[in-house]
């Protein structure tokens, strides 16, 4: 094989590599210029080894040559093919945590649920408080105590009713006293009652009636109530046949029955909590002409329901 002159590329390749070169040694291959058969071959090359400054020939030079090309190609590859950075790791961890949180139970209420939850809690708490007050007030019932009754006059005389039928007629006037006591410790009450009826026991015929005016009683207090019962020209018809009189005065005691119902309403918490109490009172009374204008005790003559 003939030796040819050195080309520019060969001279350049023979020049010592700079100290700053990344690869210490590499090969430069050039095609052969002589061809005995006149044909150019592309697969015949002359290889000229270039030694590194350290003078290490051989396999290390060949490896550095190939490393140069592979290194330059790797250097041009996009950075996203490299090892994931810390930011990517952080993003992946966030995605994983999000996936885990999706299957987990909610840790708290959303903000839009705060107001409905507050309203619901307030309603439940207020209802519980109202129920407690209602239960406490139910145990503090008012007390009605009958005190006395007195008859101012009682007369029986013959007469005619509004249709002209002849019958005995009764005219009477009496006064009833009672004590009303509010036992409530934290509420006042409004009191009213049904009419007080004084009837003849034998025939249940009402001879006199009276009413209690509506009043307000403050907590832990009491009052004495006085009621006037009157009846004018009440026809007895056949019911008063047993009643005999002389000059209008009954000759025998007259059994009577006093009955009424006291109605009480308490406003514990405005109009939201307003318990009601009912007390039915019945008293047996005997009218004796010899005890006119005398207060007769009713303490042992009444029943309360």
pLDDT digit string (tens) for 43-66?
444 444 444 444 444 444 445 444
Backbone angles phi, psi at 27, to 5 degrees: -110, 145
Q: Given this model, what pLDDT does residue 53 score?
A: 47
Question: Rounded distance, CA 30 to CA 46, Å?
Answer: 6
Q: Given this model, what pLDDT does residue 198 score?
A: 95
Q: Given this model, what pLDDT does residue 123 score?
A: 82
Q: What is the dihedral of CA 210, 214, 219, 225, to 10 degrees?
A: -30
Q: What percent of the chain has pLDDT over 70?
A: 63
**What number of other Cβ atoms are within 10 A of residue 212's Cβ?**
20
Interval 211-236 mean pLDDT: 94
Average pLDDT, the chain: 74
122 vs 54: which has the higher pLDDT? 122
Q: Given this model, what pLDDT does residue 83 score?
A: 52
Q: Given this model, what pLDDT does residue 138 score?
A: 74
Q: Given this model, what pLDDT does residue 49 score?
A: 47
61: Cβ contacts below 8 Å, ≥ 6 apart: 25, 26, 27, 49, 50, 51, 52
298: Cβ contacts below 8 Å, ≥ 6 apart: 146, 147, 148, 149, 258, 283, 285
Q: What is the dihedral of CA 99, 103, 104, 106, to 10 degrees?
A: 100
Q: Given this model, what pLDDT does residue 128 score?
A: 78
Least-confidence region, from 5-9, 86-90, 92-96: 5-9
Backbone angles phi, psi at 125, to 5 degrees: -65, -40
Question: Rounded distance, CA 209 to CA 194, Å?
Answer: 10
Q: Given this model, what pLDDT does residue 195 score?
A: 96
Closest among 226, 227, 225, 256 to 240, alpha carbons compared: 256
Q: Given this model, what pLDDT does residue 131 score?
A: 76
Q: Given this model, what pLDDT does residue 20 score?
A: 46
pTM: 0.58
Q: Given this model, what pLDDT does residue 297 score?
A: 95
Q: Given this model, what pLDDT does residue 113 score?
A: 80
Backbone angles phi, psi at 102, to 5 degrees: -65, -35
Q: How confident is the model at residue 224 (pLDDT cuts 50, 70, 90)?
A: very high
Return the structure tokens found at 37. 């058969």
Interval 105-114 mean pLDDT: 68
Q: Given this model, what pLDDT does residue 154 score?
A: 93
292 pLDDT above the threshold of 50: yes
């Amino acid at each position: 094989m003939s030796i040819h002159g050195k080309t520019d590329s060969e001279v350049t390749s023979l020049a010592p590599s700079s100290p700053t070169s990344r690869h210490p040694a590499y090969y430069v291959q050039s095609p052969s210029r002589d061809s005995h058969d006149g044909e150019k071959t592309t697969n015949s090359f002359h290889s000229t080894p270039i030694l590194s400054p350290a003078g290490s020939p051989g396999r290390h030079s060949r490896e550095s040559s190939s490393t140069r090309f592979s290194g330059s190609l790797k250097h041009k590859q996009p950075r996203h093919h490299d090892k994931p950075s810390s930011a990517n790791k952080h993003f992946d961890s966030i995605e994983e945590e999000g996936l885990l949180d999706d299957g987990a139970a909610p840790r708290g209420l959303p903000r839009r649920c705060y107001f409905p939850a507050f309203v619901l809690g307030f309603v439940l708490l207020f209802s519980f408080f109202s129920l407690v007050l209602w239960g406490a007030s139910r145990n503090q019932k008012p007390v009605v105590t009958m005190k006395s009754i007195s008859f101012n006059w009682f007369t029986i005389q013959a007469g005619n009713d509004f249709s002209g039928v002849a019958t005995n007629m009764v005219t009477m006037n009496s006064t009833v006293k009672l004590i009303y006591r509010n036992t409530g410790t934290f509420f006042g009450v409004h009191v009213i009652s049904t009419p007080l009826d004084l009837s003849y026991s034998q025939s249940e015929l009402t001879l006199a009636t009276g009413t209690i005016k509506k009043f307000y009683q403050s907590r832990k207090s009491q009052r004495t109530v006085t009621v006037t019962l009157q009846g004018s020209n009440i026809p007895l018809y056949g019911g008063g046949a047993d009643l005999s009189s002389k000059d209008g005065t009954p000759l025998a005691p007259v059994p009577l029955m006093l009955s009424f119902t006291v109605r009480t309403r308490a406003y514990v918490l405005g109009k939201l909590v307003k318990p009601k109490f009912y007390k039915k009172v019945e008293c047996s009374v005997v009218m004796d002409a010899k005890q006119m204008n005398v207060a007769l005790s009713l303490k042992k003559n009444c029943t309360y329901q």
